[in-house]
Amino acid sequence: MKKTCPSSNAPFPESRPAVWDFKRLFHPRTVAVIGVSLERDRHPANVIFNKINLRYSVDVFPVNPRGGDLFGQKVYTGIQAIPHTIDLAIIIVRAQYTLDTLMACIDAGAGGATIISGGFAEVGRLDLQQQLAELARQRGFPFIGPNCLGFYVPGCMDTFFIPSERMIRPEVGKVALVSQSGGVLVDLMTKFAEQGIGLSLGVSIGNKALIREMDLLRYLAEDPDTGIIAFYIEGFAHGEGREFVQAARRYAKPVIVLKAGKTREGIRAVSSHTASMAGDYEVFSAVLAQHGIVEAANELELTSFCEVLSCYQDSIDGRVGIISSSGGHGSLAVDICSRHGLSIPAIDPRQQAEIRADLIPSVQPIASLGNPIDLTGSATDGDFQAAAQHLARSPELDCIILLLLPYSPEITSDLGARLSQVCKHNNKPLVAYVPHVDRYRMLIEGFEFNGVPVSSSIKGAVLMVEALRRSRPC
Amino acid sequence: MLKTQTKTVIDASHTRGWVSEPDAKRLLATAGLTVPGFTLVTDPGRIQSAAQDLGFPLAAKVVSSRILHKSDHGGVKTGITTTEELAAVFERFARLDGFEAMLVEEMVSGLELIIGGKIDDQFGPVVMLGMGGTGVEIYQDISLRMAPVGPEDVASMIKCLKGGRLLSGYRGGVVVNRDELTRTLICFSEFFMAVAEMIESIDLNPVMCSAKRCVVADARIVLPTE
């Protein structure tokens, strides 16, 4: 038997809609939290209810078959008892009650659901989640999960059972994150918040009984709020990888994938060289690259890639110009660039002379203007601008890395904003490295608010450039 | 047509789990791939005429339902130059487990490549190009792509091989005919797409590529286990 993902045993019925309508689900005006506890304040459903009730401008209704009240609000005995049509049902009841609950949601005309509850394929009850998926498919009703955290739309809605005070929230932005693991999603969101990367939507798809990567790829490709689509994937359902890569290649938006489970499972007896050498991960990685999907090796890469692709979407060849105020930083960056297959073309003497003429007299004799450019610790904002101006206009280069150590006395905190403008005017992507400490915040934000990504390490900056080279077959 | 022919061959091969080399080569030839001239010898009396038809030097391989990895069992002999030698090889092969016939082939030369295909659970038919020969699993120098592949895919597969420079006549070596290699991979990928549901994996190893042509010197088609 072929190995398949837990959710994939059933063949896909013909009736599966090509595109699900997620509008009411992801942007609800009315929400029911089904399964609140009348006794336990810290019950996950209560945490979700409280959070939505206090933070978001939607009408939210608690549901428990026993009725009663919760913090003075009427608890409804079922979704059908609520006197409004519900856009989003958050289901957090025991696994054995989910099917009836889902049926009630559909009958009550809800727009969609997220099933937070566990107790399905992950504990050997594939049958239970298959019943849910079958019902939902028949009735054309989208639901996320089960066994998931649900989703997060900045400023609009979140279904996470993480208390408000413990949530780290990225700002509104262009990146959509789809994760098979809720924990990984939350962790990535924390990193996004730290790095100032904005999110359009974060979805934890859990056991993906109904809604899978493919459904969200299709939706997000058309979603005007989303510019970059990032996935954390453990594995595709049987045959679904083919459909996914073919669709991703058709869409203009960059697609980034972080794959877990890269190591080979045990040693299977294989009778051909091809089967032995073309392991699951080797195939995965090669096929992604073949279709222009950016593969991130780890969370650091995923974060860097999302940050840079939020700023620039055009693919480059990887001919890099490097500007720094420290020779050492330039050399380190060159080493990392070469390891990643990026080239550092030399700057010809005529162009060097032109750059030199634009530097201040005290820097002119001491600056090194080959590539990497070392403007030295005496450089001023104007010197950086001059060098960036020349490199931005050079047809030999398709990207600039700026390594900025703000110790130099002549550098001001306006430099970020100024250099960003230079590169914007010349339509050349700029990536900066600035040590991430609080006192440089204004400098860093000068870049970031002007659409230039800033990494906290040299390597991170190089990785960002690498991500811009989207087509990397090997 | 190809599909029907393949199905017939595969139905007849199910008991052994793979398609015999002569059958595999007939299918590949129908798919447009180049295979060496060959003849099957079951009767020692036919050895001389087989040798005369093909011309020396020759290669001989055992055909046996029990032997998948022929060289591991001493079931391959190359560079045979006389009828006596060929007759001696036949005698030896006839004593091997499950002997059915001796496959006698013209010798082909060139750079040894491997072309393969497997059905991936997530992506379906996938094709592979690699540096071939017996060291194939030691160097693991391979490129993989989802099938079907086009000329651009093949160019990028070659570029991605660490040994890719060997195809361009590195240090006076053989210069591989790129058009023929491209055609071979594309034909193979189309064949594989057509018959994917009947097959688990395929190794064409080695494929001997020279300035003139790419010849499938050995082929192994493995069938899915139920």
**Is the pLDDT higher at A374 or at B97?**
A374
Residue A320, token pair as written in the block: 């890099």
- pLDDT given for residue A113 in this prediction: 98
Model confidence at B207: pLDDT above 50: yes
Query: Contact B136/A272, CB-based, under 8 Å?
Result: no
Token pair belonging to A260: 């877990």
Pairing mode of beta strands A199-204, A150-153: antiparallel
pLDDT at res. A165:
87
Give the pLDDT band of residue B108 (cuts 50, 70, 90). very high
Instruction: Determine the pLDDT at residue B136.
Output: 86
**What CATH number should be reported for the domain holding residue B181?**
3.30.470.20
Mean pLDDT of B153-177: 91
Q: What radius of gyration, in Å, describes the C-alpha atoms of chain B?
A: 17
Give dist(CA B125, CA B193) in Å, integer: 6
- Examine the domain organization and report whether A294 and A356 are in the same domain: no
Q: Which residue of B has its CA nearest to A290?
A: B145
| Pairs across A and B, CB distance < 8 A | 108
CA separation for the pair A391, A431 (Å, rounded): 13
Answer yes or no: is A253 within a domain: yes
What is the domain-level CATH number for residue A264?
Answer: 3.40.50.261
Task: Identify the helix (H) or strand (E) that includes residue B67.
Answer: none
* Mean per-residue pLDDT, B207-212: 95
Tokens of A273: 């060289």
Q: What residues of chain A lie within 8 A of the CB of B160, using their CB? A: 473-474
Residues A351 and A437 in one domain: yes
Q: Which of B24-33, B60-69, B190-199 has the lowest mean pLDDT?
A: B60-69
Average pLDDT for residues B52-60, to the nearest whole number? 92
More confident residue, A103 or B164: A103
Q: Which range among A427-436, B3-12, B76-85, B146-155 shows the weakest confidence by mean pLDDT?
A: B3-12
| Residue type present at position A137 | R
pLDDT tops 60 at residue A2? no
Whether B121 and B216 map to the same domain: the answer is yes
What is the domain extent for residue B62? 38-106
- Nearest chain A Cα distance for residue B17, angstroms: 10
SS3 content of chain B, % helix, strand, coil (to 5): 40, 30, 30
Please report whether residue A156 resides in a domain: no
Do the domain assignments include residue A389?
yes
Cis peptide before A349 (omega within 30 of 0): no
Q: What is the CATH number of the domain that holds B101?
A: 3.30.1490.20
CB contact under 8 A, A274 and B124: no
Q: Give the H or E element holding residue B49.
A: helix B47-54
Contact in structure between A151 and A223 (CB atoms under 8 Å) = no
Which of A258, A290, A311 represents a domain boundary (last residue)? A311
Residues A65 and A117 in one domain: yes
Q: In Å, how far is A234's CA from the nearest CA of chain B?
A: 11
> How many angstroms separate the CA atoms of A447 and A417, rounded?
5
Same domain, A279 and A330: no
Q: Are residues A338 and A251 in the same domain?
A: no
Q: Is the predicted pLDDT of residue A102 greater than 90, yes or no?
A: yes
**A194 CB neighbour count, 10 Å cutoff:** 13
pLDDT at B72: 83
User: Is the same domain home to B89 and B157?
Assistant: no
Q: Is residue A272 part of a domain?
A: yes
Q: Which of B106, B139, B162 is the last residue of a domain?
A: B106
Task: Kindly indicate the confidence band of residue A279, based on its pLDDT and cuts at 50, 70 and 90.
Answer: confident
**A135 in the same domain as A58:** yes
The answer as to whether A301 is a domain residue is: yes
pLDDT at residue A12 above 70?
A: no
B117 touches chain A (CB under 8 A): yes
Q: Which of A83, A110, A143 is the last residue of a domain?
A: A143
Give me A276's structure tokens.
Answer: 């032995």
pLDDT at A200 over 60: yes
Q: How far apart are the first and last CA of chain B?
A: 25
Q: Give exposure, A447-466, as e/b (b: 16+ Cβ within 10 Å).
A: bbebebbbbbebbbbbbbbb
A474 located within any domain: no
Smallest CA–CA distance from B132 into chain A, residue: A273
Cβ–Cβ < 8 Å for A454, A434: yes
pLDDT score, position A8: 32
How far does A259 lie from chain B, in Å, by closest CA?
13
Percent of chain B with pLDDT over 70: 100
Contact B202 A239 (CB under 8 A): no
In this prediction, residues B13-29 reach a mean pLDDT of 88
Distance from CA of B171 to the nearest CA of A (A): 25
Same domain, B62 and B141: no
Q: Over the stretch A119-139, which tens digit does the pLDDT of each residue have? A: 999 999 999 999 999 999 999
Q: What is the per-residue pLDDT across A248-271, written as a single tens digit (0 to 9) for each?
A: 999 989 999 999 987 765 445 567
Quick one: A180 and A253 in the same domain? yes
**Residue A166: which residues within 8 A CB-CB, separation 6 or more?**
none
Angle at A321 between CA A319 and CA A327, to 5 degrees: 135
User: Within a 10 A sphere around the Cβ of A311, how many other Cβ atoms?
Assistant: 22
Number of other residues whose CB lies within 10 A of the CB of residue A238: 19
Contacts of A292 in chain B (CB under 8 A): none
> Chain A interface residues facing chain B, Cβ-Cβ under 8 Å?
2-4, 235-242, 245, 270-278, 280, 282-284, 286-287, 290-291, 473-474
Q: Is the peptide bond between A146 and the residue preceding it cis, with omega within 30 degrees of 0?
A: yes
CATH of the domain at A66: 3.40.50.720
Indicate if B147 and B218 belong to the same structural domain. yes
Question: In the structure, what pLDDT confidence band is assigned to residue A469 with cuts at 50, 70 and 90?
Answer: confident
What is residue B190's three-state secondary structure?
Answer: helix
Same structural domain, A326 and A307: no
Inter-chain contact A272–B153, Cβ cutoff 8 Å?
no
Whether residues A288 and A347 share a domain: the answer is no
Whether residues A94 and A188 share a domain: the answer is: no
Task: Examine the domain organization and report whether B135 and B214 are in the same domain.
Answer: yes
Of B106, B139, B159, the residue that ends a domain is B106
Q: What is the mean pLDDT of chain B?
A: 92
Q: How far is B177 from chain A (nearest CA, A)?
A: 22
Q: How many domains does chain B have?
A: 2
> Quick one: what percent of chain A has pLDDT higher than 70?
95
Residue B47 has pLDDT above 70, yes or no: yes
Reduced to 3 states (helix: H, G, I; strand: E, B; else coil), residue B95 is: coil
pLDDT, residue A18, reads 61
Q: Are residues B100 and B140 in the same domain?
A: no
- Give percent of chain A with pLDDT exceeding 90: 81
Per-residue pLDDT tens for A371-392?
Answer: 999 999 999 999 999 999 999 9
Are B130 and A284 in contact (CB < 8 Å)? no
Segment B184-203 shows an average pLDDT of 94
Could you report the per-residue pLDDT of A129-166, keeping only the tens digit for each? 999 999 999 999 999 999 999 999 998 999 999 988 88
Half-sphere exposure of B116 (CA within 13 A, CB side): 35
pLDDT score at A17: 53
- Co-location of B50 and B26 in the same domain: no
pLDDT of A159-187, one tens digit each? 999 988 888 999 999 999 999 999 999 99
Residue A439 confidence class, pLDDT cut points 50, 70, 90 = confident
The answer to whether A283 contacts B220, with C-beta atoms less than 8 Å apart, is no
Confidence band for A4, pLDDT divided at 50, 70 and 90: very low
What is the distance of C-alpha A92 from the center of its chain?
A: 26
Write out pLDDT tens, residues A31-48: 999 999 999 989 999 999
For residue A9, being part of any structural domain is answered with: no
Give the residue numbers spanning the domain of A107.
18-143
Amino acid A319 reads R
The answer to whether B122 contacts A278, with C-beta atoms less than 8 Å apart, is no
Residue B126 shares a structural domain with residue B195: yes
Residue B153 pLDDT = 95
Residue corresponding to tokens 């690259």: A289
- Do B91 and B141 lie in one domain? The reply is no
Q: Are A353 and A458 part of one and the same domain?
A: yes
C-alpha distance from residue A428 to each of A389, A395, A405, A450, B138 (Å): 10, 10, 22, 14, 44
> Are residue B201 and residue B124 in the same domain, yes or no?
yes
Q: In the predicted model, what is the mean pLDDT of chain A?
A: 91
A286/B220 CB distance under 8 A: no
Residue A288 to residue A471: CA distance in whole angstroms:
10
Domain boundary among A283, A311, A339: A311
Same domain, B17 and B55: no
Q: Are both A340 and A291 inside the same structural domain?
A: no
> What is the domain count for chain A?
3
| The pLDDT value given to residue B65 | 84
- Place A72 in a pLDDT band, splitting at 50, 70 and 90: confident
Residue B225: what pLDDT? 80
Task: Among B84, B106, B128, identify where a domain stops.
Answer: B106
